[in-house]
Amino acid sequence: MDDTAGPAWQRRLMVGLLLAPALLWLFALIVLPHVDLALLSFRERTAPREFVTSLAQYRTFFTEPLYWHIFVRTAVISAISTALTFLVAFPIAWTIAKLARGRAATLLFVVCLIPFWVSETVRTLGWMILLRESGVLPGILVHLGLADAPPELLYHDATILVGLVYTSLLFMVVPLVSSLESLDNSLIEAAYDLGASGPAILRRIVIPHALPGITAGCIVVFMLTLGNYLTPNLLGGTSSQWFTEQIYTQFITRFNWEQGAAFGFLLLGLSTTMVWFGLKLSGQRFSDVMRRT
């Protein structure tokens, strides 16, 4: 009787043990801090070292237009940057998956990967050297006679977009390549044989097939962009505010952990909503998409 229960019990223990490090990690470093932050975000300081439970932190967010402004701005720029990343990454992914063969495909992939061998800080500082008024690119523009005086290319919202797209390109290319590689070339050939035009094939065959990969890439890129701190901070101008910057400021320079925690949860809410919305819009299921990432 016991000879069936024994192995099953052992198997469950085995699975439990194998999962234990991951679960412990998840619980101690992700779940617990979030619970603590949630509690923190519902506190209000009334006097030194005295706190009451209240919704004041969330109320501040909704009553102070400044925070709203930054929140919406972060969401909009992140969405634009995700779309741009997709537009840039798709041709690259197509080339790697369908056009390049063997060594050329590997080489292209490595070219995409190489920038990630150095840290994000170094990459961003590289952009600063290229774009600043006394930098490389403005110098070239003047040399070619395209500008009279070196233009300041740094410190604009467009600069932030360039930096963000560059930073997240790889995370879009990888899922796109894997979903395009599984597309059978004979489907495309058949479509041409039946007289379909290029755009029609793209719209009715390629994109529907790659949709899980596209959604996966967009979700990852959007999350990375939304949570990015360094790029908007270094490349942005005097008016550029990013929501993560605001969270950092509240925690570190204002000593206002309560407000920072509330902002953190609002950002979590925003990214969750946007991901849900994206899944609904593309008709994808979360589990299918996650398998592609």
H-helix segments, the chain: 2-26, 32-41, 56-63, 65-94, 102-113, 120-131, 136-143, 157-181, 185-193, 198-201, 207-226, 230-235, 243-248, 257-282, 286-292
Considering only 49, 101, 103, 280, the residue that binds other proteins (CB under 8 A) is 49
- Residue 53 main-chain phi, psi, to 5 deg: -75, 130
- Kindly state whether residue 20 participates in binding other proteins, applying the rule CB under 8 A: no
- Kindly state whether residue 6 participates in binding other proteins, applying the rule CB under 8 A: no
* Positions 177 through 236 that interact with other proteins (CB under 8 A): none
Cα–Cα distance, 246 to 229 (Å, whole number): 10
- What is the pattern of x (binds other proteins, CB under 8 A) and - over residues 253-272? xxxxx---------------
Residue 108 or 258 with smaller CB distance to other proteins: 258
- Kindly state whether residue 33 participates in binding other proteins, applying the rule CB under 8 A: yes
Considering only 54, 95, 249, 282, the residue that binds other proteins (CB under 8 A) is 249
Residue 175 or 236 with smaller CB distance to other proteins: 236
Q: Which residue has the tokens 């030194």?
A: 48
Q: How far is the CB of 71 from other proteins (least distance, A)?
A: 11
CA-only gyration radius of the chain, Å: 24
- Kindly state whether residue 237 participates in binding other proteins, applying the rule CB under 8 A: yes
- Kindly state whether residue 23 participates in binding other proteins, applying the rule CB under 8 A: no
* Contact partners, residue 176, CB within 8 Å, separation at least 6: 89, 90, 93, 97, 210, 213, 214, 217
Cα angle vertex 166, ends 161, 168, to 5°?
95
Q: How far is the CB of 53 from other proteins (least distance, A)?
A: 15
- Residue 51 main-chain phi, psi, to 5 deg: -135, 150
- Kindly state whether residue 164 participates in binding other proteins, applying the rule CB under 8 A: no
> How many residues bind to other proteins according to rule CB under 8 A?
30
Helix axes 207-226, 157-181, angle to 10 degrees: 140
Q: Which residue has the tokens 């063997």?
A: 102
At residue 43, the 3 state secondary structure works out as strand
- Kindly state whether residue 14 participates in binding other proteins, applying the rule CB under 8 A: no
| Interface stretch with other proteins, choices 75-83, 99-107, 176-184, 248-256 (CB under 8 A) | 248-256
- Kindly state whether residue 134 participates in binding other proteins, applying the rule CB under 8 A: yes
Q: How far is the CB of 1 from other proteins (least distance, A)?
A: 43
Q: Contact positions toward other proteins, by CB under 8 A?
A: 28-29, 32-33, 36, 40, 48-49, 64, 66, 69-70, 132-134, 152, 155, 237-239, 241, 246, 249, 251-257
